[in-house]
Amino acid sequence: MNNETQNTEYKESWRDEYLKWICGFANAKGGVLYIGVNDSGEVIGLKNAHKLGEDIPNKIVNYLGIVCETNLLKRDDLDYIEIIVEPSNVPINFQGKYHYRSGSTKQELKGAALQQFLLKKMGRSWDDIPHETATLERINRNAIDYYLQHAVRARRLPTSALSDSTETVLENLNLITDDGKLKYAAILLFGNNPQRYFPTAEFKIGRFGFSDSDLWSQDVVSGNIIQMAEKVVELLRQKYLLSYIRYEGMQRVEELEIPEDALRELIYNAICHKDYMGSTIQMKIFDQYIELWNDGDLMEGVTIENLLQKHKSKPRNPLISNAFYKAGFIESWGRGIEKVCRAFSDSNIELPQFSINSGGLNVIISRNNNQEMVNEKSSQKSSQKSSQKSSQKIIDLISKNTNITTDELAEELGISRRAVAKHIKSLQEKGLVIRIGPDNGGHWEVVKNEQER
């Protein structure tokens, strides 16, 4: 026989405690338990196989409440038993404890892991749980309006939604029960003070020196999570990251050292996929990189490898994610990380590195804070735009006066005669203007379409 796998387990003899393994298989993806087989997959046989073949099915029913196919098999005149366990669509416990098959090991589920497991088996998520005491008075109308304005701007809600009542908004997002109880997601998204109920619903930012122990300064962003990303980015812009100034014509543009849309996407992901029973979101800022961590492992079926590709969206907190989607903050098709990587690539910055660390998703984000390099890029962009404007101005002036001279062009543009000659040569090479006749006595013509060229 083959070696043990996630779905197979070998036991040399029967013990009632092996009902835990059957419980673990039933709570996971099912599996097969062989009795009378050693760890190497070698059949060693059972002396009381026939009696066990009658007793084991009864014990499974009595202790676990499920029915498993039990087969008496024979190899080389040795009897052994095969117990086939189907996955259960309801949670199964053995003597009040819940076991789960993970990889090739069995685990007893406790605490938050048990809560998540039970909710999943019931077809619910953690953020779908109603709070017993929180009322509509705990909801911040400004947060509701903020959500509505962004949802309308993203064209995911009609303009008429701006006048919806708080209760209507919550009902449309499935954030309130029929008897008026707020769900956990409603409190987190729009609550006046969600941290009263969920203390770890915060976003910690720290500036570090050479190591994690070298903390220079820190801030904590709290409040509702629908506006949290906006507050985080604003704080990063004001205090922690560099913004480089450039001009597009007369307009001043301040460009964050990291692609802002990509940075927001990573922050939104951390907020939406966080395990709110776990630790706070943490952002550590070092000279050359940023480390962003949120509590909560990847959802079942999602790996680091397929996270970086197109993949099915599997939100940990579906109600929270739905509100962020409606507001236009995230995509619902698992394309967010792909867009992040594309933005970093377009900006010639090293792609973010994703890993699982301490039970949560960790992202290393490279900083583009080389001042000389950024200034050079900005200077090149400004120079290119200035050159384009001068060339267009020459075309406009020639269109108005085909006999205009180089000296007159230089005077109009406020640049040297040599610079004008350089622009004209470039325009001639591109086929945008042509010279008819000699330098003295001839005239210019602007080529208006492809046929003229």
For residue 364, list its beta bridge partners: 291, 353
**The residue to which tokens 């929180």 are assigned:** 134
The rounded distance, in Å, linking the Cα atoms of 435 and 404 is 12
CA 146, 148, 150 angle in degrees (round to 5)?
70
SS3 355: strand
Mean pLDDT, all residues of the chain: 87
Cα(318)–Cα(299) distance, integer angstroms:
12
196-254 tens-digit pLDDT: 999 999 999 999 998 888 999 999 999 999 999 999 999 999 999 988 777 766 677 77
Residue 299 has pLDDT above 80, yes or no: no
Which of the given ranges, 94-103, 155-164, 367-376, 439-448, has the highest pLDDT on average?
A: 155-164
Sign of CA dihedral 144, 146, 147, 153: positive
* pLDDT tens digits, 46-64: 988 999 999 999 999 999 9
Q: What band does 452 get if pLDDT is binned at 50, 70 and 90?
A: very low
Q: Tell me if the pTM is above 0.75.
A: no
Local structure of residue 280 (DSSP, 8 states): P
